[in-house]
Structure 1
């Protein structure tokens, strides 16, 4: 980590609460969360936004994790690729998560899932190129405007946080790194 952050021992108040919740959920406080403590007044709102977006995601947690993994590849963010690969693998299995990360067009997904991930990928690459036709494609596949907004929020939020994590030197914890060196290499899309 390039910046000074609040350690678990030093954490007080809201930061201590966020750290304790993460330790309870994940068994440890992630470097990503610690990196947010460099600006203590923003840690809670940023964490709350992630939780609200993820927990209330209109397309479900599996879709949220697929979007995040695809966006992380195109940011590019090795940290978020490793973390969200691990999370998505619990839903769809390791091989399917690898296939989605490699190329969601050839991963055996539905047309609806491919369109969702195409939209998220375009947000990561260059959102200024999104046009009304892209939104109409999603609507034609049954996505509501709420669903489309959720995809955009999830993709844009991941771009924001992934870039922040790289900018302050947060690194993936060893527990998120796959045992297979070839998989680790596939997920190492940005800063290692």
Structure 2
């Protein structure tokens, strides 16, 4: 990591809550948490933005947009963390998540789920090339204008967070519950 995060005894407020959350759930503080604790106000704003996005699209669509964006930019941090969140929220089982990691088009997802992932992937790799047809593909599977905006924001916030971690050279931690073949599948190249 190219920055020096604060030690646990140096944090307070939101940063202390960030550290405490990781310690309570996993027994250690993730590298991405330590990096973001340098500017806890920005992290709190990020979390607040996420909280405004999820209600219209639901956790499943948010996680699919997140995984689609993280997969497109090869963010190991976010693929592992959100793979785990997907499992913990019982949004899919390990087998389906592994298939999604290898190729979401061949993971027994419904048309709406595939459309979300394709949209997030394109937005993350070539947003300037997007046209009305990209939004129409989401509309064609039933998403409203508000949901299309929120799917876009979900992929956008993942790009913000993931690209920040990549730029700061934050080490990728082992994520409890995401090991072996599942880890390999999630991290497989697009």
TM-score bracket for this pair, using the shorter chain length: 0.7 to 0.9
Look up the SS of the partner of 2:9 in the other structure: coil
Please give the alpha-carbon distance, in whole angstroms, between the structure 1 residues aligned to 2:136 and 2:22.
39
Q: Could you tell me which residue of structure 1 aligns to residue 166 of structure 2? A: 166
Q: Are positions 1:5 and 2:11 aligned together? A: no
Distance 1:140 1:33, change over 3 A: same
Q: Could you tell me which residue of structure 1 aligns to residue 60 of structure 2? A: 62
For residue 73 of structure 2, the aligned residue among 75, 93, 106 is 75
Cα distance, 1:15 vs structure 2: 2.1
Q: Could you tell me which residue of structure 2 aligns to residue 103 of structure 1? A: 103
Look up the SS of the partner of 1:38 in the other structure: coil
Q: Which moved more, 1:164-173 or 1:89-98?
A: 164-173
Deviation per CA, 1:9-44: give whole Å up to 9, x if none: 110233223433454566543321211123344233
Q: Could you tell me which residue of structure 2 aligns to residue 147 of structure 1? A: 147
Q: Could you tell me which residue of structure 2 aligns to residue 36 of structure 1? A: 36
Please give the alpha-carbon distance, in whole angstroms, between the structure 2 residues aligned to 1:34 and 1:41.
13
Look up the SS of the partner of 2:8 in the other structure: coil
TM-score by length of 1: 0.84
Please give the alpha-carbon distance, in whole angstroms, between the structure 1 residues aligned to 2:134 and 2:168.
34
Please give the alpha-carbon distance, in whole angstroms, between the structure 1 residues aligned to 2:119 and 2:159.
14
Segments of 4+ moved more than 6 angstroms? none
Deviation per CA, 1:106-136: give whole Å up to 9, x if none: 1111112111211111111111111112212
Distance 1:95 1:53, change over 3 A: farther
Q: Which moved more, 1:104-113 or 1:18-27?
A: 18-27
Q: Could you tell me which residue of structure 1 aligns to residue 131 of structure 2? A: 131
Q: Could you tell me which residue of structure 2 aligns to residue 88 of structure 1? A: 86
TM-score by length of 2: 0.85
RMSD: 2.3
Contact 1:70 / 1:101 at 8 angstroms: preserved in 2?
Answer: no
Q: Could you tell me which residue of structure 2 aligns to residue 188 of structure 1? A: 187
Unaligned 5+ residue runs, structure 2?
none
Distance 1:21 1:174, change over 3 A: closer
Please give the alpha-carbon distance, in whole angstroms, between the structure 2 residues aligned to 1:146 and 1:24.
35
Q: Could you tell me which residue of structure 2 aligns to residue 17 of structure 1? A: 17
Please give the alpha-carbon distance, in whole angstroms, between the structure 2 residues aligned to 1:36 and 1:116.
27
